[in-house]
Amino acid sequence: MNTANPHTDRSAPLLSLDGIGKRFGGTIALSNIHWSIQPGELHCLVGENGSGKSTLIKILAGVHTPDTGGTITFDGVRHTRLTPQEAKALGIQVIFQDLSLFPNLTVLENIAIDLELDSPLRLPPRRAMRDAAKEALASLDADLPLDVRVGSLSVAQRQLVAICRGLATNARILFMDEPTASLTRHEVELLLSTVRRLKEMGVAVVFVSHRLEEVVEVADHVTVLRDGHKVGTYPANEINEHRLTELMTGESILHEVNARQLEDRRPALEVRGATRTDEFEDVSFTLHAGEILSIIGLLGAGRTELALSLFGMTRLQRGEILLNGEPLHLKSNQDAIEAGIAYVSEDRLSLGVNLKQPISDNVAITVLDRLAGALGLVSPRSRSQLAEEWVERLGIRAANVAAAVQTLSGGNQQRVVLAKWLATNPKVLILDSPTVGVDVRNKQGIYDVVRELASEGVAILLISDEVPEVYFHSDRILHMRDGRIAGEFTPGVASDHALSEALYA
């Protein structure tokens, strides 16, 4: 439920942008942006990759200089550009997704680091630092030990430290990039109550987020950017995620239920009583050939842990897995791959792709033995050819397959990952949060690929935390919570609202 206040006084904005634009060489990143935010407002910025969100934030943080003609007005004072020092002095603080903390320094030092920056040889003002840190923590009603290394804290606690650091430098406006990406539901609640305190203090908060359900729920206003232009600013209680998606992409996306009744219900993967202490318990389900079965759950539900066991990366302590009726004894993921199970990791950048290596080797890595020719050699040519076949089949937009994977967009990178797994001819394909960091447009492409695979008889296990993703693209949905299967839903029979409610209950 949206408890936002849509009647915030718009007559005295804290920060406003007029006619801000930015070109990088031939590319227009931002064009004619007019935007403003009030003190104490929670504003969400949404837009696809390439819409200009990052550029906008970096201009405000002083990292980029806007093109001439635009102005930034802060507290009534006009600027044509900001340097990083000016931005900080004004109170503009950006918390990037990696939080920019020092894991080897203490909470105290991280919060008060600003006080340690000048006068290199002088003593750090320990007393003043401790006072500043305590004050920041107190204002948020937060309870963190000051002398603990930040590296040993959880993500949610680190986020608190990052926010306190902003406060210690008298932040007036706080930008947070994907702040809820790694938080459990409970931690999101805590973050939101912290944000409420900030609002009470008159600090404006801007979330950049792709989690549209959340955005609509917590924000006062939402601004949509598309291709460098501002599409509009909307009070959050007058808009929903479907409309936001349409505005972000410029297209009307019809969501239809695609669940199918399968005649040939031959079980492909059977899981019985799967248990791993502290991860998941007594999980049982049957995945049929040609079926798209989703497992939906929030962070901490044990979905990825379960997937890793099915993929052989970890061992089950109790229970068994059967593939096409035969029990599997997986000692490693190599066994799983040989049996015909493939796993697309949720962490594409670190575990899915090998960013600096070429597309060709990224695709071929899973099937090098099958490519081996005379004398057991695997020629560079055969690897490239394999990659090219998949580039064509999956519609990967790449100049050539010798390019590094990091030159591709997120959606295309994910297709490379799909390619390497499809090359193994899997019987079961496990997709773990496959569309994170992928544009709405590209998401659809991936769903199409998945549906085609299913129609060819591959059994698909789709793991996700997004209701629309699972509701409109799978045949059956299992809800996982706290390591157990908590319920089963059939799209079309149960409503997506019912699913949402169960998920967030």
Applying the rule CB under 8 A, the residues between 115 and 174 that interact with other proteins are 116-124, 154-155
Distance set, CA 100 to CA 151, 165, 180, 212 (Å)? 12, 10, 16, 25
Q: CB-hemisphere CA count at 13 Å for 313?
A: 11
424 neighbors 367 (Cβ within 8 angstroms): yes
CB of 3 to other proteins, least distance (A): 28
Q: How far is the CB of 96 from other proteins (least distance, A)?
A: 6
Span from 253-261, 327-335, 471-479, 494-502 in contact with other proteins (CB under 8 A): 327-335
From candidates 404, 486, 498, 502, binder to other proteins by CB under 8 A: 404
| Tokens at 398, concatenated | 């790449």
**Contact predicate 363/390, CB 8 Å:** yes
Q: Compute the distance between CA of residue 484 and CA of residue 499 in angstroms, rounded to an integer.
A: 16
Q: Name the residue among 112, 130, 123, 125 with its Cα closest to residue 169.
A: 112
**DSSP state for residue 414 in the 8-state scheme:** H
- 366 lies in the site for other proteins, by CB under 8 A: yes
Does residue number 70 form part of the binding site for other proteins (CB under 8 A)? no
347 counts as binding other proteins under rule CB under 8 A: yes
424, 394 contact by CB (below 8 A): no
Q: State which of positions 434-473 bind other proteins (CB under 8 A).
A: 437, 448-449, 452
Query: Which residues make Cβ contacts (< 8 Å) with residue 371, sequence separation at least 6?
Result: 364, 378, 382, 383, 386
Figure out which of the listed residues 12, 89, 128, 349 binds other proteins, where binding follows CB under 8 A.
Answer: 349
Does 254 help bind other proteins (rule: CB under 8 A)? Answer: no
| Among positions 240, 406, 425, 490, the unique one binding other proteins when judged by CB under 8 A | 406
Beta strands per DSSP E along 210-253: 221-226, 229-235
Site for other proteins in 169-208 (CB under 8 A): 177, 181-182
First to last CA, the chain: 13
What stretches of 104-145 show up as alpha helix (H) in DSSP? 107-111, 126-139
Burial-class residue 242 by CB neighbours within 10 Å (0-12, 13-18, 19+). middle
CB of 355 to other proteins, least distance (A): 7
Can you read off the two tokens belonging to residue 211? 């989690």
Question: Which listed range, 25-33, 283-291, 321-329, 471-479, lies at the site for other proteins (CB under 8 A)?
Answer: 25-33
Among 214, 217, 279, 291, binds other proteins (CB under 8 A): 279
Q: Are 282 and 484 in contact (CB under 8 A)?
A: yes
237/245 Cα distance (integer angstroms): 16
At closest approach, how far in Å is the CB of 11 from other proteins?
Answer: 32
Among 113, 191, 236, 480, contact with other proteins (rule: CB under 8 A): 113
Stretch that binds other proteins, among 72-80, 194-202, 394-402, 495-503 (CB under 8 A): 394-402
How far from chain centre, in Å, is Cα 115? 33
Which of 327, 372, 488, 493 touches other proteins by CB under 8 A?
A: 372
468: three-class secondary structure by DSSP: helix
* Least Å from the CB of residue 12 to other proteins: 30
Does position 300 interact with other proteins (CB under 8 A)? The reply is yes
The dihedral sign for the CA sequence 177, 180, 182, 188: positive
333 touches other proteins by CB under 8 A: yes
- Compute the least distance from the CB of residue 490 to other proteins, in Å: 27
- Residue 22: phi, psi to the nearest 5? -155, 125
**Site size with other proteins, rule: CB under 8 A:** 108
Q: Which residues ranging from 28 to 57 are in contact with other proteins (CB under 8 A)?
A: 29, 49-52, 54-55
**Binding test (CB under 8 A) with other proteins, winner from 343, 447, 471, 489:** 343
88 belongs to the binding site for other proteins (CB under 8 A): yes
Of 18, 71, 79, 102, which one interacts with other proteins (CB under 8 A)?
102
Among 2, 31, 63, 272, binds other proteins (CB under 8 A): 63
* Residue 6 contacts other proteins per CB under 8 A: no
Which one, 239 or 485, has the nearer CB to other proteins?
Answer: 485
When binding is defined by CB under 8 A, the residue of 26, 68, 261, 326 that contacts other proteins is 26
Site for other proteins in 305-324 (CB under 8 A): 305, 313
Quick one: which of 299, 322, 486, 494 contacts other proteins (CB under 8 A)? 299
Integer CA distances (angstroms), 287 to 108, 315, 429, in order = 50, 20, 11
For residues 4 and 153, which CB has a smaller minimum distance to other proteins in the complex?
153
Nearest distance from C-beta of residue 464 to other proteins, angstroms:
13
Structure tokens at 122: 């002088």
Q: Which residues of 328-361 are buried (b: 16+ CB within 10 A; e: fewer)?
A: bebeebeebbebbbbbbbbebeeebbbeeebbbb
